[in-house]
Structure 1
């Protein structure tokens, strides 16, 4: 399985996980000129901007370690576009999460949700 397929499956597993935990998915793969956010989800008055990292193992470190400062800044700028487009500035609480997804044998997924993984 190539990395693109693995990533797409990890994002679907994450969307399912978030919905099971009371979130409503507002957008997936939200793209603007400055960047992309994998999942935007809401729970009550909170909007979570979620970066999903899927791996088969820890050979290259944890998935969250790959969300560098530069990547965080792109996510933050993209989140600002999302909020402006939806007229949500100053109308909701925002948080930046990382979800680590580990592909296990037989199509199983291990999901590690890190709420508030980084700040603006």
Structure 2
């Protein structure tokens, strides 16, 4: 597996740990539908939370959350619609982003952005 894939797995594992400590129940990891993948599907109370994990292992010009493009959002929504129709009909859903990147000391820092897609117009 390539180094960036290894780092992506580490970032997803950190995101899962973060969510579980915050009281989320992890339902599914890496759910695939067509060309889309949902990194984490979790539940908090009666809310289904779809979490896109974005990781950077160095400073780049674009933040991890800025890397979630409109086309990526459309794919995430498509896969989420399929998941909900199949496994959790009639549940409210929220879309979050968790970014994982090194802080100034090199330690991996997590930033959780709830309702992250509200700022986007995915149409």
- Normalization by structure 1: what TM-score? 0.90
What CA distance in whole angstroms lies between the structure 2 residues aligned with 1:103 and 1:7? Answer: 13
What CA distance in whole angstroms lies between the structure 2 residues aligned with 1:6 and 1:106? Answer: 18
Cα root mean square deviation, aligned: 2.0
| Counterpart for residue 12 of structure 1 | 13
CA displacement, residues 68-112 of structure 1 (integer Å, 9 cap, x when unaligned): 0000000000001111111x222x210011100014599842000
- Normalization by structure 2: what TM-score? 0.88
Q: Out of 16-25 and 30-39, give the one that drifted further.
A: 30-39
1:82 aligns with 2:79: no
CA displacement, residues 44-72 of structure 1 (integer Å, 9 cap, x when unaligned): 00111000001123313110000000000
Structure 1 stretches (4+) deviating beyond 4 angstroms? 104-107
| Counterpart for residue 41 of structure 1 | 42
Count of aligned pairs between the two proteins:
118
What CA distance in whole angstroms lies between the structure 2 residues aligned with 1:50 and 1:15? Answer: 10
1:34 touches 1:77 (CA, 8 Å); kept in 2?
no
Greater fraction of residues in strand: 1
- Long gaps (5+) in structure 2: none
1:30 aligns with 2:31: yes
The DSSP-based 3-state class of the residue aligned with 2:62 is coil
Q: Out of 1-10 and 40-49, give the one that drifted further.
A: 1-10
